[in-house]
Structure 1
Amino acid sequence: MLKATVVLAALLALWACSQALRFEGNPFANPVWKSASEVLGALPGSISIVPADTLATIIPVLLPFAVFTTGVLLFQSDASATRLLRFLAISGGLVALYGLIQFEFFPDYLMFRKKDYYLDDLTSVLVNRNSIATYLGAALLINAGFLFDSLIPVSPRRGRAGAAFHAQRLIQVDTYSVLHGFLAFVTLLALLLTRSRGGIAATFVALSALSVFLVIDGYWRIGQRTRRPSNGMARPSKWASVSVAAAFIVLIFFLLGGRVLMRADMQGAEDARFCAYPSIVQLLKDNWLFGTGLGSFREAYERYQDPLCAHNRLWDRAHSFYLEGWIDLGVIFVPLLLVAVGGLILIFISGIKNRKSRRWASASGASVLLLFLLHSIVDFSIQIPGVAVFFAAIMAAASVLSLNRVRRNGVRQKRGPDGPNFTGLHQTS
């Protein structure tokens, strides 16, 4: 896992450096250098149209890779990875709580200064409502996972007399249940107040998928604790519970998301990004092979921007992570993205298949990945450093919890950075 991350980061950095490399007669130089040479005389050319910006952008782009690698190295055990994930869930909930307080009592302020944008929307500590919606959506999913794990633990707890837990007490409420339940509710409210259509819709899809899995896993846990695994007679009630859970989520979003629905109804498909996408796609067609250079979208798009879509400003983002990544890096962006996403998917599938008490963490990590994949189609939240770091830390913790597992003989097999190794004796997973 770590080797693949380091290789991906190294390839990305090397390719960006090669894009910024300038020399006369460069056969891969962007045509803009030839046009400039006709006016200014012979100039060294490069793939990037802004080589200095390309080099400067390497560090922020590699930041989430560094966070992911550091998280995997420092939090290798189940206990430490769970603490990291819980810290992220609680901190995300606190950001949501701060956003609600700010929105209610200081709606015109962003931290300690006046807000310039999104005056009627909750943005908490970020400027853009779409970015904070992605952040809050991830926090909601992680808190939902912790809430499930604390309410329905796998192993039955013992009473004061040492007797096994009774069937009528299958659901347990403790401090963590109350905490994560409260933070999940607060985060949901804050998310809906952002009025981010894409962020809320992506979170809705991810939360629905996570809820279906957790309901099914909950039935498995109850079967384990009561020693009565689900049989054919129990299946109808299980799928009925899945349907009820999905319907409940839909009801919550429709009842509490009135502001979002009103905005969607008033604005409809008249969005600046949809007006700009044809020009952005044309820019991609003209530079699909080598790209225009990492961090060069603003300068590259200036020649393509339709005045009717400008709204008195120059776009510095493509409002699609996939389009901008391909435009900046060229076709190499596609395999890099597929390897990164495919690797995480395989890790989470492994966790869901091989873990027992920790499979909820694999499912939560997969749902966060789904949220980011969906919202990145129409937004650039993953390109905001604060959001990217939060995402990378969640992926690190969830990946560790997915790859650690317990063998039948009770010896914990921990898949470390360079493969499996065996450390310690544990009886639970």
Structure 2
Amino acid sequence: MIFWSLIALVVLAPLPFGSIYPWAWSSMAVIVAILLFCWCIKTLISSNGPTIGLNRTWFLILPFALVCGWVGIQMAPWTPESWHHPLWKDAAEILGKEIKGSISLVPFETGSGLLRLLTFGGIFWLAMQYGRNHQDANKMILALICAGTVYSIYGLYIEFTGSNTILWFEKERYKDNLTSTFRYKNSFATYAGIVVICSLGFFFRQFSKLGEESLGKFELRRQVITWLLTDGWKHLLPIVIVLTALILSDSRAGLFCTILGVVTLIAAIKVSHLKNIPYFGKLSFFAIAIIMGIFINSGSGVFDRLVSERIDTDVRGEIFASTFDAIVDRPILGYGSGTFENSFYLYHQKIRSHLDNLVG
């Protein structure tokens, strides 16, 4: 029950606008907490213990706990007043009363960020526990691939019908870009990129089974063609669908990270135990050719943006400069996790509208 509930949570998370609104991610946090509680009870009454114990994951848990602890300190009112952001003192003087300040500029946002961080950590922990089982790992990957394909098909339907909606709501931004059920194009592009990489990895894994037997060149070629026509196309179709949706999102960052992920996947397979993949070099070239082919034919928007010299370099330069100034002012204490938007506007309010378009 815990395993399938985890899969359902991950599959449905993109549906409510990518779970960016408080009601969505707070509901996710509650569900993850319940799943973790059930997992703890199940582990305690089991004689086998956890699949992966703390003794094997302490090097992951320790830095994660330190980060969460520091975020908690940032929002705490009992820290030394000299650590607090100067705006708290200014607010107290203007209001004429004592105000409990904190390192964080907006403690509520910092607390919300901590809750989201713990939620993601909980999902990672459960996925790690169940992912050690080969069959369960395959089920999780297949569920992600199927979900990503469905979300991409929905996005393509919205794109080609021109309805400019997310579910039954009118799009507020990115009306010329495919975002599926996500509000921001970069968020969808990130999700789609993960699905493409998982789909390609799953395809290579299934395809490697053909190379487990010693076959002649002609017989191997015959089996490869037969597999592609009977079963292999089912693994290729999600890649084409999701990649097309990714290209139409017009996200340069999403496309670049996906290409980087595919190259990393191919390099990892090259040095892994999956060395018996037939025609691996040709398949790798074919995979890259598919990406470039779909990119050229359906992603003219991204292509134009990539080759264009007018990419708002001046505005982006101002954003980077203002961000650097903010870091220099408080390099150690910071402004509180989750408060970038609030703190950034203290340094540069002229480009707020442009920054809004970059969010996600």
Regarding TM over 0.5, the answer is yes
Structure 2 unmatched ranges of 5 or more: 1-55
* Matched ranges for 1:30-69 at <5 A: 30-39=85-94, 40-69=96-125
1:331-384 deviations in Å (ceiling 9; x for gaps): xxxxxxxxxxxxxxxxxxxxxxxxxxxxxxxxxxxxxxxxxxxxxxxxx65xxx
Question: Aligned partners of 1:213 and 1:53: how far apart in 2?
Answer: 38
1:262 aligns with 2:317: no
Question: Aligned partners of 1:75 and 1:215: how far apart in 2?
Answer: 22
Question: Aligned partners of 1:100 and 1:289: how far apart in 2?
Answer: 45
1:292 aligns with 2:347: no
Question: Aligned partners of 1:75 and 1:216: how far apart in 2?
Answer: 22
Report the residue type matching 2:164 in the other structure: D
* Contact in 1 for aligned 2:103/2:333 (Cα 8 Å): yes
* Contact in 2 for aligned 1:33/1:43 (Cα 8 Å): yes
Secondary structure at the counterpart of residue 81 of structure 2: coil
Using the TM superposition, name which of 289-298 and 173-182 deviates more: 173-182
* Compared CA separation, residues 266 and 73, structure 1 to 2 (3 A): same
| Aligned-pair CA distance for 1:119 | 0.7
Report the residue type matching 1:207 in the other structure: V
Question: Aligned partners of 2:232 and 2:81: how far apart in 1?
Answer: 61
* Contact in 1 for aligned 2:74/2:102 (Cα 8 Å): yes
Aligned to 1:92: 148
1:78 aligns with 2:134: yes
Question: Aligned partners of 2:308 and 2:238: how far apart in 1?
Answer: 31
* Matched ranges for 1:193-208 at <5 A: 193-208=248-263
* Contact in 2 for aligned 1:25/1:45 (Cα 8 Å): no
Question: Aligned partners of 1:45 and 1:216: how far apart in 2?
Answer: 53
Aligned to 1:280: 323
1 or 2, which has the higher helix percentage? Answer: 2
Secondary structure at the counterpart of residue 220 of structure 1: coil
* Compared CA separation, residues 208 and 52, structure 1 to 2 (3 A): closer
* Contact in 1 for aligned 2:248/2:298 (Cα 8 Å): no
When the two structures are superposed, what TM-score results if normalisation uses the length of structure 1? 0.61
1:125 aligns with 2:167: no
* Compared CA separation, residues 167 and 295, structure 1 to 2 (3 A): closer
Aligned to 1:178: 233
1:142 aligns with 2:198: yes
| Aligned-pair CA distance for 1:33 | 2.3
* Contact in 2 for aligned 1:48/1:292 (Cα 8 Å): yes
Report the residue type matching 1:303 in the other structure: L
Question: Aligned partners of 2:162 and 2:286: how far apart in 1?
Answer: 38
* Contact in 2 for aligned 1:92/1:139 (Cα 8 Å): yes
| Aligned-pair CA distance for 1:95 | 1.1
| Aligned-pair CA distance for 1:17 | 1.8
Question: Aligned partners of 1:28 and 1:122: how far apart in 2?
Answer: 44
Aligned to 2:161: 105
Aligned to 2:220: 167
* Contact in 1 for aligned 2:210/2:223 (Cα 8 Å): no
| Aligned-pair CA distance for 1:298 | 2.3
Question: Aligned partners of 2:280 and 2:80: how far apart in 1?
Answer: 68
Secondary structure at the counterpart of residue 202 of structure 1: helix
Report the residue type matching 2:120 in the other structure: P
Structure 1 unmatched ranges of 5 or more: 160-164, 224-236, 320-379, 382-429
Question: Aligned partners of 1:78 and 1:25: how far apart in 2?
Answer: 50
Secondary structure at the counterpart of residue 83 of structure 2: coil
| Aligned-pair CA distance for 1:45 | 3.0
Report the residue type matching 1:100 in the other structure: L
* Compared CA separation, residues 23 and 68, structure 1 to 2 (3 A): closer
Question: Aligned partners of 2:293 and 2:330: how far apart in 1?
Answer: 45
* Contact in 1 for aligned 2:295/2:303 (Cα 8 Å): no
| Aligned-pair CA distance for 1:52 | 2.8
* Ranges of 4+ aligned residues in structure 1 off by more than 6 Å: 215-219, 237-241
Question: Aligned partners of 1:182 and 1:117: how far apart in 2?
Answer: 29
Question: Aligned partners of 1:166 and 1:137: how far apart in 2?
Answer: 35
1:192 aligns with 2:223: no
| Aligned-pair CA distance for 1:206 | 2.4
* Compared CA separation, residues 168 and 316, structure 1 to 2 (3 A): closer
